[in-house]
Amino acid sequence: MKRVRLGTGAGYSGDRIEPAVELAEAGDIRYLVFECLAERTIALAQLAKRRDPSAGFDPLLTDRMMAVLPACRRNGITIITNMGAANPHAAGAAVSAVARSLGLGPLRVAIVTGDDVTEIIRARQDLTIEETGAPVSSLADSLVSANAYLGAEPIVRALKAGADIVITGRVADPSLFLAPLVHEFGWAADDWRLMGKGTLVGHLMECAGQVSGGYFADPGYKDVPNLARLGFPIAEVAADGAATITKVAGSGGLITGATCREQLLYEVHDPARYLTPDVAADFSGVSITEAGPDQVRVDGGGGAARPASLKVSLGYGDGYIGEGQISYAGPGALARARLACDIVAERLRIIGLPLRELRLDLIGVDAIHGPELSAAAPEPYEVRLRVAGRTHTLKDAERIGNEVEGLYTNGPAGGGGATKMAKEVIAVQSTLIPRELVNPQVHMMEVQP
Amino acid sequence: MKLRDLAHSRTGDKGNTSNISVIAYRAEDYARLEAAVTVERVRHHLGALIQGEVVRYALPGLGALNFVLTRTLGGGVTRSLALDAHGKCLSSAILDLDI
């Protein structure tokens, strides 16, 4: 039976670069997929593009392509990535420039667009925001961007047209992996069982190292070898959708039933209905079997008809966040940090700062799980006060950090290491739009040597 | 005994909703997890960290439970004031449950 080997070159925009090179050189793979576009990243990229029409794609795109393109060309590996973010055309131009500078041509770079539905959303203000039930019109001028999650179809089209590199904006993460399977095996887009199985493979692969031992180690309970040299995953997929998850021999990390089960449920709600633009995938009957060292067999996924609507991420301006931190250490550290906390809270009242929300944490005590779960913990040697607040203006946000920094000369004894920051917040909510309003397009760029 | 002795866990986030998996190390311990790690216990254990609903999905074939917690992430990673805006550390909180 025909088998196709896919590798994951990145699981988020800042991910390590060398594991992708290792896969391209020694992974015996046909496709290398880079998933680099988080929920909010595309809204930030839209803002960047607005300021500079040649910007708005992944900042590490050129570095990644410089690193992997020679081995990918040598070994006949097709690259698929959503690093186009808000500007796939500019990303395509950047990749073409890399290829030319390395003397690697001819090659075909496919650009997938159509995910940017900002104008459609502005014209359809009756749509409802999923999280709040409010109409999209309530975002009014604060709306920065609207990007629909595209499915595998336009990527399949690009592969059929002979693309060596496919660059997209917002595409559902598993669809980046499903597309080459559909292309290679000729799966029908309405074969929901196969769409579900391919989506399962994509879901396991989309976070790169998170299935091959990354984000897994818990010393004494779950030990993982050589995380500094973590190998990224390879999926060897058969025409019936069954897959083996593995990695390059000798790389760090490990792939076991446990690492695959953790990643299977990562960011999943109802496991019987994992919704993507391609399918309502069903992971509830999946079987995970260890077939050898760093080889796990995955089978049994299924699916039902794809949703009629596409999910759209709405990026919108949501005010500003200001933050300040300062540390206390040694005897009485906790008491001094608590005093510092009280002082800042009182100061913010005295100066009458208009705050939409305020949060006071003691890092090392209760910042992560709150005061209840940490109530019985022993007193730490050192404590860091963190004050974070939401404001309407950047100037107000800056005043929060200033009040924390002011503890140097006005607060308890021995405060050190104060830091402060203030930032604009682009938040994300979602809505659903009818599929037929979205028109994905593929543009081919020919790169000559 | 702590849940950590029988199971491992990972947290995921989508918008303002968190999901926490609880996965038995050994298949034979799954029934014990299913009986002991209930929605009520998780809600009680995490207390004020959960602002919304808790739903549990059972996956006996994988020896796993999946808890979905709505309105738990301060509006979601893109706007939360929390230090751990993704809520990624919640998996460690749940493993501290007494079994």
pLDDT at A126: 85
Asked whether the beta carbons of residue A430 and residue B15 sit closer than 8 angstroms, the reply is yes
Task: Give Cβ neighbours of residue A157 (< 8 Å, ≥ 6 apart).
Answer: A442
Strand partners, A282: A302
| SS3 state at A325 | strand
CB pair distance less than 8 Å for A268 and B19: yes
Task: Check residue A241 and give left, alpha or beta (phi > 0: left; psi -120 to 50: alpha).
Answer: left
Chain A hits for B93, Cβ within 8 Å: 369, 373
CA B18 to chain centre: 8
Interatomic CA distance for residues A239 and A236, integer angstroms: 10
Instruction: Please tell me the predicted confidence (pLDDT) of residue A1.
Output: 85
Q: Does A430 touch chain B (CB under 8 A)?
A: yes
What is the rounded average pLDDT of the residues B33-56?
Answer: 96
Type of residue numbered B43: R
Q: From CA A165, how far away is CA A61, in angstroms rounded?
A: 12
pLDDT, tens digit, for every residue of A14-64?
999 999 999 999 999 999 999 999 887 888 898 899 899 999 999 999 999
**Per the structure block, which two tokens stand in for A71?**
């081995």
Q: What is the mean pLDDT of residues A397-420?
A: 98
Residue B58 has pLDDT above 80, yes or no: yes
Q: In what order do the strands lie in the sheet with A280-282?
A: A274-275, A280-282, A302-304
What pLDDT shows up at residue A42?
87
Does any CB of chain B come closer than 8 Å to the CB of residue A289?
Answer: no
Task: Tell me the average pLDDT across A249-261.
Answer: 98
Placement of tokens 């070994």 in the chain = A75
Amino acid, res. A318 = D
Helix locations, A351-393, DSSP H:
370-373
Closest-CA residue to A36 (of A54, A6, A16): A16
Query: What residues pair up with A233 in beta bridges, in sequence order?
Result: A247
- Dihedral, CA of residue B11, residue B15, residue B16 and residue B20, to nearest 10: -20
Give the residue from A212, A254, A368, A390 with the most B CB atoms within 10 Å of its CB, the best one to mutate: A368
AA identity, residue A393? T
Cβ of A265 within 8 Å of Cβ of B21? The answer is yes
Work out the angle at residue B14's Cα, subtended by the Cα atoms of residues A79 and B55, and round it to the nearest 5 degrees.
135
Cβ pairs A/B, distance under 8 A = 120
- Rounded to whole angstroms, the Cα distance separating A121 from A45 reads 18
CB within 8 Å of B39: residues ≥ 6 apart: B54, B55, B56, B67
Distance of CA B84 to the CA centre of its chain: 15
Beta-carbon contacts of residue A342 (< 8 Å; ≥ 6 apart): none
Interface test with A, best of B5, B10, B11, B53 (most A CBs within 10 A): B10
Helix (H/G/I), strand (E/B), else coil: B47: helix
CA distance A153 to A417: 52
What is the three-class DSSP state of B84? coil
Instruction: Confirm if A35 and A82 have CB atoms less than 8 A apart.
Output: yes
Tell me the mean pLDDT in the region A128-138.
Answer: 92
Chain A residues in contact with B62 (beta carbon < 8 A): 261, 264-265, 286, 288
Write down the pLDDT at residue B81. Answer: 96
B1 touches chain A (CB under 8 A): no
Rounded Cα–Cα distance for residues A176 and A32 (Å)? 10
Asked if residue A336 has pLDDT above 80, the reply is yes
pLDDT digits (tens, 9 = 90+) for A147-202: 999 999 999 999 999 999 999 999 999 999 999 999 999 999 999 999 999 999 99
Query: Is residue B19 less than 8 Å (CB to CB) from chain A?
Result: yes
Nearest to B62 among A286, A357, A359 (CB): A286
Q: Which residue has the tokens 């979602």?
A: A430
Provide the pLDDT for residue A44. 86
Evaluate if residue A124 carries a pLDDT over 90. no
Residue A242 pLDDT level (bands cut at 50, 70, 90):
very high
Which residue has 């209930």 as its token pair?
B38
